[in-house]
Amino acid sequence: MQLALKQAELGLFITSPNPRVGCVIVKEGVVIAQGHTQPAGQAHAEVSALRDAAARGVDVRGATVYVTLEPCSHHGRTPPCTDALIQAGVGRVVAAIEDPNPMVAGQGLARLSAAGILTEVGVLAEPAREMNIGFFSRMQRGRPWVRMKIAASLDGGTALLNGVSQWITSEPARADGHAWRARACAILTGMGTVQQDDPQLTVRAVNTPRQPRRIVLDSQLQIRSSARVLEGGGTWIVSAQRDDAREAELIARGAEIIHLPSNVDKVDLPALMRELAKREINELHVEAGFKLNGSLLRAGCVDELLIYMAPCLLGPAQGIARLPELSELSSRINCHFHEVRSIGDDLRLLVRLS
């Protein structure tokens, strides 16, 4: 199963919106084939491994299949993997974890068992779930897994008071941040960041065959049609207002306008999370300023913080998030450290909200 998880990692940047799945086929104690999920509409991990076996000229009948997610049992973009395994005549299937998709959810393993194939589930379930934490979130909670990326000094500064923020962290940390961008289905920012930095919001520091969707929260439709985040088309602009003339201009640039007003003339953030899940966004990567960061945190829309902490002090500066002043500690937002790692000269903190 550890080998299967390594196979799943090969699909980290390509499988969206499908889960990243790896498969290893073993016969008489020898690995005879491996595979991982291909881009949506192409082969799933099990079919990839079966094709690998065929290409090697090995017989999979009676073999054991180790797969990091329960084989699918329904017709989606591709036929059911359970049918392929049954037809191949494998003897045993070991799945790390059940598929959270309601169209599968144990039915794949049941179908295999009904065909006389031995099944087992629960081997290295936690790392398998972590590999697809966004897929599980979308299927089980109806919202993406939201990861907020922050580059900060030791005293919590993310930009000088004049807005200058490039660069607080080191080049290795910035490259690592691009790898997290690459694994996400979409990158979200706000108008403050667009106006201050005019970002592209693309993956550039690492090789990736797929660029994440770009999303801009722009309640008042203030974005300029020349903004770099619109280049190449496909950007989603989320607004609380309607303006036919401005919308036509942005649509001409290849953008799509999503209207989700709240009762205070801002974007309804929880509604946005539900809308993104409907649009098959598994992992949402947030790179925004302290105002939008604060709004997302206050709305309960953040699952984890990806913080790159540089060994420096900025003094008076913009902070991580604009949050209300507290009168008692019991009102604080509690978190826990999930992972701490050195990246270049900086620390990378993966902090999950409790």
Q: Catalogue the active-site residues.
A: 46
DSSP per residue, 166-190 = TTSS-HHHHHHHHHHHHHSSEEEEE
Beta strand ranges found along the chain (DSSP E): 22-27, 30-36, 64-67, 92-95, 118-121, 145-152, 159-160, 186-190, 213-217, 236-239, 256-259, 283-286, 304-309, 317-318, 335-343, 346-353
The rounded distance, in Å, linking the Cα atoms of 131 and 126 is 9
Contact predicate 327/169, CB 8 Å: no
Backbone angles phi, psi at 145, to 5 degrees: -80, 120
- The answer to whether 222 touches 191, Cβ cutoff 8 Å, is yes
Task: Report d(CA 101, CA 96) in Å as an integer.
Answer: 15
Residues 306 and 148: their CA atoms lie apart, in Å, by 6
Cβ proximity of 110 and 81 under 8 Å: no
Bridge partner list, 31: 26
Residue with token string 């289905």: 185
